[in-house]
Amino acid sequence: MIATLAASLGLTPDDPSFWMPLVFMGMLFVLVVAGTVLDGFDLGVGILLQLAPAEERGRMLGLLSPWRDANEFWLLLGIGLFAAAFPFAWGTVLGQLYAPLTLMVLGVVLRSVSYEFRLRARTESKPRWVTAFWIGSLMTAFGQGMALGRIATGYQNTAGYHGFSLFVGLCAVAAYVLLGATWLTMRVDGDLQRRAVNWARHAIRWTAAGMVAIAVTLGLANAGIFYKWSNLAHLGLAVGVWVAMLLGFVGTEMVLTRLPRHAERFSWVPFVTCVGLFLLMLGGLAYSLFPFLILDDMTLWDGAASLGSMRLVLSGAIVAIPLILVFNILAYRSVFGKARRARN
């Protein structure tokens, strides 16, 4: 398959002009997965702040403290890598996703500023910064969903497709609420855990609706993607993905209905299953879009930088990635397990 793809481009598999864009796209996919999952529970907890009792909000923010610094760089690193490795696609993609990306960046900045200012604010001012953190979380999650909706519809600009992007934005908020609520279910106990279970059970239905909508729209909006998933050679893969998603949603719901009293030792299962569902969705999206950066218009190789530029960026990545991996292994090693009560 790789040899056939290379031959269709007039290249060979060992030609740097062929494999280097693939390496960068693989790195970009890893950053997207890391940002969606690792920053996802952070976003979810931020969105849930306004639903929690006032006395629990400081505790919820305190639970995020070990990962706040690590979570902040995923989006910026992904944008920087994309701009450096695929400059010819950058302008077009940025133009099509200007509104959702602007919303995301503003949300990230607001979240970071409000979190730090809350730590230094007087007691009477802390609720204002908690509210700002909540608004920033909503903006970031909704912007990501809108961007996903625009990508799934091939950046089409009719009113119906814009409405679909708004719907996916709402479903993205629900998906991050589900991830944040299941993480809280695993991390805390008592009344906050019971609330988290209830939040997760409400969010799971909208999350499922959003994932199904993305999958169906990808196929209906693009004949090539529909054929890729429906032809006999790949039909088994499509069936496997749908069955895995169904089992994931049903299994999560079943465990949640038994929490917190009857299945406490399995409180980690909903969070891990949700991570698996996110990975399935992102993997399916990558498979659907490959090898295009812009559907039916620009491939990885069309949008890639010059060979010299890619070598320079890759040299930096070879040095930086091991450091990033070590830092994040240390930062995220305590993401599981019950947490002690945090200071407000």
The tens digit of pLDDT for each residue in 274-306 reads 999 999 999 999 999 888 888 888 889 999 988
pTM listed for this prediction = 0.90
Q: What is the pLDDT of residue 22?
A: 92
The domains found in the chain, sorted by start residue, are: 21-304 (1.20.1630.10)
Cα distance between the two ends of the chain: 56
Mean of per-residue pLDDT scores for the chain: 86
CB 34 within 8 A of CB 74: yes
Q: Find the Cα–Cα–Cα–Cα dihedral 202, 207, 209, 214, rounded to 10°.
A: 170
* Alpha-carbon separation of residue 286 from 23, 146, 280, 291, 296 (angstroms): 14, 17, 10, 9, 14
Assess whether pLDDT exceeds 70 at residue 85.
Answer: yes
Assess whether pLDDT exceeds 50 at residue 344.
Answer: no
* pLDDT confidence tier of residue 338, bands split at 50, 70 and 90: low
Assess whether pLDDT exceeds 90 at residue 330.
Answer: no
Give the residue-averaged pLDDT of 140-155: 91
Percent of the chain with pLDDT over 70: 93
Assess whether pLDDT exceeds 90 at residue 9.
Answer: no
* pLDDT confidence tier of residue 343, bands split at 50, 70 and 90: very low
CB 207 within 8 A of CB 191: no
